[in-house]
Structure 1
Amino acid sequence: MSQYDVVICGGGVIGGSVAYALSRNKDLKIALVDYKNPGNASRASAGGLWAMGESTGLGCGVILFKTLSKQLQEGADVSQAEGMKPHIMPKPFFDLAMMSNAMYPALNQELLEKHGVDMKFEKTGLKFVLFDQYDRIYAEHIASAVPDRQQHIRWLDRDTLLSEEPNISRDAIGAMEFDTDHQINPYRLNDAYVEAARQNGVDLYLNTKVTGIERQGNRVTAVQTSRGKLSCGMIVNAGGSWAEQISLWATGMQMPVFPVKGQVLVSEKLPKILNGCITTSDCYIAQKDNGEILIGSTTEERGYDTSTDLTLLKQLAQGAMKSIPQLRDMNIKRCWAGLRPGSPDELPILGPMPGIEGYMNACGHFRTGMLTSAITGKLLNELVRGEPTSVDITPFLYDRFLNESGDMVGEYHLEASL
């Protein structure tokens, strides 16, 4: 049996960030316990730091306003057409995403200089490529929905777009660019956090399952693992799509986190054909520093199913080829399905649980784990140490799912399993 100040359950990008942030002062004894379940989200991400994109519904590349286009083509009034309103995230999330995004240049430098690890941070911007009047109408609605962020929006006409991205289809009519939205290599970011935490003295329990949580009264006291018992003063639930089970063990309370499947294609290494990341009404396309092209992604609630679907993968490939005709000649290197940790309102779940001591949430980040990992680590470090938080976390507390009687409001679909 080992004794720790903090045990972090989950070593994906969120758990890794929390471990690194807590270990900076080197004054706490910390353990990170991780087991790579099939579909682990941090191993199936595009690595987009798309603060504006994710906050306006463009970042995941699945806008799916095809129904809107059909309605308009059939003569529906634009102002009345269902689906016209963009999916704009609430202001607290928007602010959180932008704050986290702004942390990455300094974080990248810190990890490089102090720990010799490279997340492959690249300033790329994110362009929403427009192909018809309906794309343009949708983009204009997005821009009008964020009047206080106009300084980060740049409109490109067709000639400007093609001069900056010469491999984009000549059928494109222009683009709306978010100049704040960049990218990292998701594998490298996850590994960078974990390795830097290890260098700071964090004990890593890799390929190790959490098998139970012990409590005395209302206080969490230990984590049971496949490698033995870890006594602790506090645990952090960074279990991703498997956070529900950790919560049930630790608190006896349901955690409304559930897997949302996303399928992705990745190409062989290609010469540089993109200068930035792009998203369309069909997919997103990001070229990584090693030349691979990532094409994503679907959004499916299929439980813990990690199988791939040829029909959906073909749709992604067709969307990519529509945007970049040169991709018709590419070879697909691999495809996979990742399980994003969804929540009912698409907001992360951070901080304590009512009536439970020695427990903190860091889960439910849906498709923005890479983007918000930096600020999540900072906030959890402040919460664990009992310091005022840099951001008001009230909108992200578990309490938002409870009514006045302390019962969970609404229902959600979940198949929790470890």
Structure 2
Amino acid sequence: MNFDVIVAGGGVIGASCAYHLSRRRDLRVALVDYKRPGNASRASAGGLWAIGESVGLGCGVIFFRKLRAGLHAASDQSRLVSADAPHILPKSFFDFALASNARYPALYRELKDEHGMDFKFERTGLKYVIYDDEDRRYAEHIHASIPHLSDEVCWLDQVALRTEEPFINPEAQGALEFLCDHQVNPFRLTDAYTEGARRQGATVLYHTDVVDVLKVGSRVTGIRTASGKTLSCNVLINAAGAWASDLSVMATGVPIPVKPVKGQIVLSERLPRVIRGCLSTSDCYIAQKDNGEVLIGSTTEDKGYDVSTTYPEIAGLVQGALRCLPGLSDLHVKRTWSGLRPGTPDELPILGRADGVDGYLHACGHFRTGILTSAITGEIIDALVHDEMPPVDIDAFAASRFA
């Protein structure tokens, strides 16, 4: 089978690449996917937290609470990814994340109207709940670091927070709210990209494991699958998530520093509306979906490809949620699971061409922001394949920064 472009990896990043590449209908595009335990796109909260994630909330601030509690002893070090988290990411990532976030309203209408796919885009905002002076100091640090985004950030005192979120713990002192940080359904978003790509003429090949990358000289010419099939292409996109380094070795002979970072999640039964927006605390984050389910996440664990769920971590998330919303004490847990985020040492993605190899592009290493940044990543890859200028500067995301 012959294609112009093969996208390896059917998670949200790969699916977005296939969707955007097939939009012009001028290329033969194939999306190949092999489901492995721990697929990150289906273990996500679905947060479009452009500012929140860029300033170290989400999983980062949970990590901060653990450090404060003294859990950085040797016995616990293996669970944690970096000793300086949380931290505010560089301007290049802010620009990247905010540009992607801004595309979601139009993307939502496009996929829904043209392809009948509703990924449940909800304007919720994100509130960082402040319990104590330490939380407040961190919130003040965040606020002082992003003066250019003052229109998208507001302070809520205790009364305003209780008005906005009447079920929140009355001991909470207030919150820092990010007005442009919303949410989607991550399952539906990945499916929407995939179905949109298929309707635009892309070939979707499930159960297709890439075992070799074929080259002539320095140019990629195709892939070989575990079933022995050869698929030819002019360009190969590495969107293999937590397994991206394996594909990089096949294509370039050089690994890239992408490794799995486990996150465990709790999902409740359907409940009446208990929160109006998404919440981040120093213990957990909480998001209620449009069907009433409450999602509680997430741990940050360096455990390789282990996708087991463990009682201490799940219990910690539940206790954090109860601290924030005491009324959840009678909730029934529907299920728990874990996913493997594709982490990099600096928490930035790896995008663009690889030195010394033609016909190969990276689209990987998005860590915990793959859902958020999938929209702009698809546009970037489409531009690069067509030898056009990407919509945002991607120099900071080149693989060569790790050389």
Q: TM-score range by the shorter chain?
A: over 0.9
Judge conservation of contact 1:153–1:176 (CA < 8 Å) in 2.
yes
Instruction: State the alpha-carbon separation in 2 of the partners of residues 265 and 137 from structure 1.
Output: 29
- The normalised TM-score by structure 1 is 0.91
1:344 positional shift: 1.0
Q: 1:43 to 1:85 in 2, by over 3 A?
A: closer
Residue equivalent to 1:217: 217
Residue equivalent to 1:153: 153
- The normalised TM-score by structure 2 is 0.94
Instruction: State the alpha-carbon separation in 2 of the partners of residues 251 and 69 from structure 1.
Output: 42
Instruction: State the alpha-carbon separation in 2 of the partners of residues 191 and 61 from structure 1.
Output: 28
Instruction: State the alpha-carbon separation in 2 of the partners of residues 151 and 167 from structure 1.
Output: 27
Residue equivalent to 2:255: 254
**Amino acid of the residue matched to residue 378 of structure 1?**
E
Judge conservation of contact 2:40–2:341 (CA < 8 Å) in 1.
yes
Q: 1:178 to 1:204 in 2, by over 3 A?
A: same
Residue equivalent to 2:27: 28
Instruction: State the alpha-carbon separation in 2 of the partners of residues 69 and 237 from structure 1.
Output: 38
Please provide the CA RMSD for this pair: 1.5
**Which secondary structure does the structure 1 equivalent of 2:354 belong to?**
coil
Instruction: State the alpha-carbon separation in 2 of the partners of residues 68 and 175 from structure 1.
Output: 21
Q: 1:209 to 1:132 in 2, by over 3 A?
A: same
1:243 positional shift: 0.6
**Which secondary structure does the structure 1 equivalent of 2:37 belong to?**
coil
- Residue deviations 1:338-360, cap 9 Å, x none? 00000111100001100100100
Residue equivalent to 2:362: 361
Residue equivalent to 2:3: 4
Residue equivalent to 1:59: 58
Residue equivalent to 1:239: 240
Instruction: State the alpha-carbon separation in 2 of the partners of residues 20 and 67 from structure 1.
Output: 39
**Which secondary structure does the structure 2 equivalent of 1:386 belong to?**
coil
1:226 positional shift: 3.3
1:32 positional shift: 0.4
Instruction: State the alpha-carbon separation in 2 of the partners of residues 84 and 9 from structure 1.
Output: 33
1:303 positional shift: 0.4
Residue equivalent to 2:168: 168
Q: How many residues align?
A: 390
Instruction: State the alpha-carbon separation in 1 of the partners of residues 382 and 85 from structure 2.
Output: 37
Residue equivalent to 2:105: 105
- Equivalent runs, 1:174-213 vs 2, <5 Å: 174-213=174-213
Instruction: State the alpha-carbon separation in 2 of the partners of residues 85 and 349 from structure 1.
Output: 20
Instruction: State the alpha-carbon separation in 2 of the partners of residues 63 and 378 from structure 1.
Output: 32
Q: 1:375 to 1:84 in 2, by over 3 A?
A: closer
Q: 1:300 to 1:318 in 2, by over 3 A?
A: same
1:64 positional shift: 3.5
Instruction: State the alpha-carbon separation in 2 of the partners of residues 98 and 240 from structure 1.
Output: 22
Instruction: State the alpha-carbon separation in 1 of the partners of residues 335 and 262 from structure 2.
Output: 17
Q: 1:239 to 1:28 in 2, by over 3 A?
A: same
**Which secondary structure does the structure 1 equivalent of 2:389 belong to?**
coil
Judge conservation of contact 2:244–2:258 (CA < 8 Å) in 1.
yes
Amino-acid identity (%):
56
1:137 positional shift: 1.2
Judge conservation of contact 2:63–2:85 (CA < 8 Å) in 1.
no
Judge conservation of contact 1:86–1:138 (CA < 8 Å) in 2.
no
Instruction: State the alpha-carbon separation in 1 of the partners of residues 129 and 177 from structure 2.
Output: 8
Instruction: State the alpha-carbon separation in 2 of the partners of residues 324 and 178 from structure 1.
Output: 20
More divergent stretch after superposition (127-136 vs 359-368): 127-136
1:309 positional shift: 1.0
Residue equivalent to 2:398: 397
Instruction: State the alpha-carbon separation in 1 of the partners of residues 401 and 67 from structure 2.
Output: 32
Instruction: State the alpha-carbon separation in 2 of the partners of residues 86 and 236 from structure 1.
Output: 31
